Amino acid sequence: MGTKSSDNGHSAGAVAVDNPAKVRNVVLVGPSGSGKTTLTEALLATTGVLTRAGSVTEGNTVCDHDPAAVRQQRSVGLAVAPVRHGDVKINFIDTPGYADFVGELRAGLRAADAALFVVSAAEGVDATTIALWEECAAVGMPRAVVIARTDHHRADVAGEIAACQEAFGAGVVPLYLPADDGLVNLLTTEDPRYEEQRNALIEGVIAESEDETLMDRYLAGEHVDQATLIADLETAVARGSFHPVLAVCSATGLGLPELLDGITRAFPSPLEHPLPEVTGVDGIPHPRLAADPDGPLVAEVVRTAVDSYVGRVSLVRVFSGTLRPERPVHVSGHGMADRGHEDHDTDERVAHVYSPLGATLREVPYCVAGDLCALTKLGSAETGDTVSAPERPLLVAPWEMPEPLLPVAVVPRSRSDEDNLARNLGKLVAGDPTLRLERNAETHQLVLWCMGEAHADVVLARLRAGGAEVDTEPVRVALRETFAARSPGRGRHVKQSGGHGQYAVCDVVVEPLPRGSGFEFVDKIVGGAVPNQFIPSVEKGVRAQLERGLLGGHPVVDVRVTLVDGKAHSVDSSDAAFQTAGSLALKDAAANGKTALLEPVDEVVVRLPDEHLGTVLGDLSGRRGRVLGTEADTAGYTVIRAEVPATELLRYAVELRSLTSGTGAYTRRFSRYDPLPQALAARSS
């Protein structure tokens, strides 16, 4: 995203919309390879935006403009492709279907008011497809089902409809069916061969729209006119429980005009789709907004890209008000500090407003509520931020971001790469809320937490494209040390070299404590063997050594250190001397006694289809995991709760996906430290 142009060789330029009722924001959702990007290209060509549709395999589509998408031949980020059909502007939002990029899908769902759920006529419905359907259902997104690739030699439209009905429920009902001479509109056809399907469609529309009066008329045999049925169809779709099915062929154009008609006539406009909750930047709730161009300005950054020529490009959904060029705005970002996005509130100025077409930016005079646009050079804007009026700053409740669970440790190859890495990481993190940056002070590693291997590949490619040559290295897990048994230690720091010397002696006893107890320091000095003013010095020296570690160089936890005796000199003793003596005493206790390594243990919650339960339970056991229990979740799914050492989870995000054919998901949180087994401890020391 970033080429500025009035038309960039396309046959249609951008035109601003004045009325939210004349906008449809439609996100294309479906598994990777189902034909979403190809369908978008065909729709762009059908509506005259393109003179010729591009090809995914040739790498020249509007939406897959990212070099990583061209290389992988699949979408890696959302892209917007607006078209006009009649007097309605349709913003098609193409999203990736691969699980690593679910963050882009959720951003697309936030920007849209309805979804086209695209499935291939040749592939059936697998667990990954069902998971994507559940993503839409989780946010109550109205959706229709599009059966694409009907020209494939294995295409089975009837079989695919049946598979969708079985997987997604009875609300999936055909609206158009393929016939020898095109498509049959079941709402209007009087062909007796389709009477059963037509009746099922009409009954479904009336039932889901909850139009009881019309149902009585229909059951009484009264003729229902098409306009009434279309109005009820829109109501049924907007409720999110009725999903009309259309079959299309991107190569031949079959079904594309009907699809465009269906979107403009049956899909909800921004006026009909509920808007997210809004508060002031102080957290005080704000009255619910409406898609009113004259209302208070509230927009949200749904995607951020950094272009080498244009700079930062923010894709924005305007929920209320109107965005205009050469106007000041307030940019707010709150609630993402755990991802490396500190809370920020900044006043900036909008220089230009653009209508995006893939990577091409076409300038428009304004962007009204309900529409999508792109803004450039908002220096503080990040994905998820709110853009509002400076005199009335507001904050949109953020959408739920997925947690990145695959750590990748990166190392710059040279000093210049180190500088480029620091510069590029800020840009990547600003645009990708599913990427988390961790600078681990204990392992001294720079770790990028990614969604999976494909996501990591894209992140590394973008770093290298920005001039930062990096290598990866194995991720190290920060361990802890503790004492396995009671152990005495003496610290003697005596230096006499003429003039003021250093003299401090202390005797300590170190004892292990239960896990999670932390550190205790006990003073049992009798008779002033260590003067009172130097007892805190001993504790300070002990604490410093605990943080530095002992035999393995790992921080020491869960110990009690008791100061039992010592010696001091009236002239040469000092705070620094007793700090050093305390440190030496702890080292001596470790040398005389027995220490143990501790590893972090995480509490893991895995959600997976029932058919993979045995495989995943066996795998968790092989990871030294302890299963706490299982429980039934939604139909066909089970939740496993277990405790697993963090060292066994470094690649679990990838391996769980492999074990469950892409359908398993998990969360993790730190629980405690447990002793590392002897064999592994010997390898780690």
- Euclidean distance between CA atoms 75 and 386, whole angstroms: 26
pLDDT tops 80 at residue 130: yes
Q: Tell which of 419, 444, 473 closes a domain.
A: 473
pLDDT band for 11, please (50, 70, 90 cuts).
very low
Task: Report the mean per-residue pLDDT for the chain.
Answer: 91
* Mean pLDDT computed over 231-238: 88
Question: Is 197 among the domain residues?
Answer: no
pLDDT tops 50 at residue 9: no
pLDDT tops 80 at residue 376: yes
Q: Exposure string (b/e) for 264-291, b if CB count within 10 Å is 16 or more?
A: bbbbbbbebbebbebeeeeeeeeeebeb
- Whether 137 and 173 have beta carbons less than 8 Å apart is answered as no
- Euclidean distance between CA atoms 352 and 355, whole angstroms: 10
The answer to whether residues 303 and 249 belong to one domain is: no
- Give per-residue pLDDT as tens, 260-305: 999 999 999 999 999 999 999 888 999 999 999 999 999 999 999 8
Question: Is 649 among the domain residues?
Answer: yes
pLDDT tops 90 at residue 636: no
Identity of the residue numbered 302: V
- Give per-residue pLDDT as tens, 565-607: 999 998 899 999 999 999 999 999 999 999 999 999 999 999 9
* Domain interval for residue 138: 20-187+241-266
Sign of the torsion formed by the C-alpha atoms of 542, 545, 546 and 550 = negative
Count helices and strands (H / E) in the chain.
16, 35
Query: C-alpha distances in angstroms, 599 versus 460, 515, 557, 647?
Result: 29, 12, 12, 8
> At a CB cut-off of 8 Å and minimum separation 6, what does 416 contact?
none
Residue with more model confidence, 646 or 12: 646
Is pTM, for the whole model, over 0.85? yes
Residue with more model confidence, 426 or 530: 530
- Whether 580 and 543 have beta carbons less than 8 Å apart is answered as no
- Euclidean distance between CA atoms 574 and 577, whole angstroms: 5
The answer to whether residues 104 and 164 belong to one domain is: yes
* Mean pLDDT computed over 397-423: 91
pLDDT band for 133, please (50, 70, 90 cuts).
very high
Q: Residue 427 maps to which CATH number? A: 3.30.70.870
pLDDT tops 70 at residue 1: no
CA angle 589, 590, 594 (to 5 degrees): 110
pLDDT tops 80 at residue 497: no
The answer to whether residues 28 and 86 belong to one domain is: yes
- Whether 310 and 4 have beta carbons less than 8 Å apart is answered as yes
The answer to whether residues 40 and 169 belong to one domain is: yes
- Give per-residue pLDDT as tens, 521-554: 999 999 899 999 999 999 999 999 999 999 888 9
Q: Residue 610 maps to which CATH number? A: 3.30.70.240
Q: Residue 70 maps to which CATH number? A: 3.40.50.300
Question: Is 464 among the domain residues?
Answer: yes
Q: Which helix (H) or strand (E) holds 461?
A: helix 453-465
For the chain, what percent of residues have pLDDT higher than 90?
72
Split into its structural domains, the chain has a count of 5
Question: Is 225 among the domain residues?
Answer: no
The answer to whether residues 550 and 448 belong to one domain is: no
pLDDT tops 90 at residue 215: no
- Euclidean distance between CA atoms 568 and 585, whole angstroms: 15
pLDDT value for 6: 42
Q: Residue 577 maps to which CATH number? A: 3.30.230.10
Question: Is 81 among the domain residues?
Answer: yes
- Give per-residue pLDDT as tens, 440-479: 988 999 999 999 999 999 999 999 988 899 999 999 999 9
pLDDT band for 242, please (50, 70, 90 cuts).
very high
Dihedral in degrees, nearest 10, Cα atoms 58, 61, 64, 65: 90
Do strands 243-247 and 172-174 pair parallel, antiparallel, or not at all (unpaired)? parallel
Q: Tell which of 593, 617, 645 closes a domain.
A: 593
Bridge partners of 318, per DSSP, are 299
Q: For residue 62, give both structure tokens.
A: 């509007």
The answer to whether residues 300 and 333 belong to one domain is: yes
* Mean pLDDT computed over 82-90: 96
The answer to whether residues 344 and 445 belong to one domain is: no
Question: Is 660 among the domain residues?
Answer: yes
- Give per-residue pLDDT as tens, 141-178: 999 999 999 999 999 999 999 999 999 998 999 999 98
Q: Residue 340 maps to which CATH number? A: 2.40.30.10
Among 36-50, 225-239, 319-333, the minimum mean pLDDT is found in 225-239
The answer to whether residues 499 and 436 belong to one domain is: no
pLDDT band for 629, please (50, 70, 90 cuts).
very high
pLDDT tops 80 at residue 499: no
The answer to whether residues 469 and 486 belong to one domain is: no
The answer to whether residues 72 and 158 belong to one domain is: yes
* Mean pLDDT computed over 345-362: 94
The answer to whether residues 126 and 165 belong to one domain is: yes
> At a CB cut-off of 8 Å and minimum separation 6, what does 536 contact?
none
pLDDT tops 60 at residue 668: yes
- Whether 552 and 505 have beta carbons less than 8 Å apart is answered as no
pLDDT tops 60 at residue 5: no
pLDDT value for 167: 92
Question: Is 212 among the domain residues?
Answer: no
Burial classification of residue 51, based on how many CB atoms lie within 10 Å of its CB (0-12 exposed, 13-18 middle, 19 or more buried): exposed
The answer to whether residues 176 and 43 belong to one domain is: yes
Question: Is 1 among the domain residues?
Answer: no
pLDDT tops 60 at residue 235: yes
Among 71-80, 212-221, 268-277, 502-511, the minimum mean pLDDT is found in 212-221
Q: Tell which of 578, 593, 608 closes a domain.
A: 593
pLDDT band for 8, please (50, 70, 90 cuts).
very low
For the chain, what percent of residues have pLDDT higher than 70?
97
- Give per-residue pLDDT as tens, 90-116: 999 999 999 999 999 999 999 999 999
